[in-house]
Amino acid sequence: MKALMVATVFGCVLTAGVAVAQQPPVQQAPPVVQQAPPVQQPPVQAPPVQQPPPAAPAAQAAPPPAPKFPEGSKFAFVNIQRIASESAEGRTASARIQAVQQQKTNQLNDKNKQIEALQAKQRSSVLAADAQAQIQKDIDKLQVDVQRMTQDAQAELQDLQNELQLEFQRKVAPIVEGVAKERGIQMLFSQTDSGLIWSDPGLDLTLDVIRRFDAAMATSLKQPAPIKK
């Protein structure tokens, strides 16, 4: 099995403003003019309005049945990328990488803001030559720091991804093997790496692996850690 890649998602969060609709002003009713009471006529009862019966709730479409595994088949496949992106363990690994990336991004942004502040000071102030020279030295030093921090962050993120990738593979490998043996599979392929053009959908064991993997990890979290002697 090829190494399982934990994909890191880099995205932008779009903050949508919520428009508050203004209510029109309430119109005040005109004052009621008191008039002499008219001659009382027997009231005429209007026939009751027949209300239509409530509409029956629309029936929800039942989800399509899962493809049935072909009986007696000795071949099947899994989508490794889907296991990494949809399983609880894979999502946790991706979240860890994103958290570290965000931390490094914030640190670099702080350095860049310091550089921008010094550059603004250079442009807006009338400083002596020695003060200008000192500011330029500070800018140069910060720029070197930014380059070094960028390289260190890239290396740290790569090391973390490799570590999580190996850990993920170690955990998921026995789950994949167990599902394959349970189905009596002799050969199990990786869907994205095998050059697969078409196959019976029932041969896809990806969802079985994800469910079994999540259940196994949830059980392991509930078990107490072994006592070190």
pLDDT in tens, 63-90: 788 789 998 999 999 999 999 999 999 9
Highest mean pLDDT of the ranges 7-11, 35-39, 92-96: 92-96
For residue 78, which phi and psi values (nearest 5 degrees)? -135, 155
Cα separation, 112 vs 145, whole angstroms: 10
For residue 103, which phi and psi values (nearest 5 degrees)? -60, -45
pLDDT in tens, 170-226: 999 999 999 999 999 999 999 999 888 899 999 999 999 999 999 999 988 776 655
The model carries a pTM of: 0.66
Cα separation, 43 vs 61, whole angstroms: 52
| Structure confidence at residue 227 (pLDDT) | 61
Q: Hey, where are the domains in the chain?
A: 75-220
Cα separation, 3 vs 161, whole angstroms: 12
Cα separation, 72 vs 74, whole angstroms: 6
Tokens representing 49 are 């309005």
Ordered DSSP codes for the chain:
-PPPP-PPP------PPPPPPPPPPPPPPPPPPP-PPPPP-PPPPPPPPPPPPPPPPPPPPPPPPPPPPPTT--EEEE-HHHHHHHSHHHHHHHHHHHHHHHHHHHHHHHHHHHHHHHHHHHHHS---HHHHHHHHHHHHHHHHHHHHHHHHHHHHHHHHHHHHHHHHHHHHHHHHHHHHHHHT-SEEEETTTTT-----GGGB-HHHHHHHHHHHHHHHHHSPPPPP-
Residues 6+ apart with CB under 8 A from 136: 122
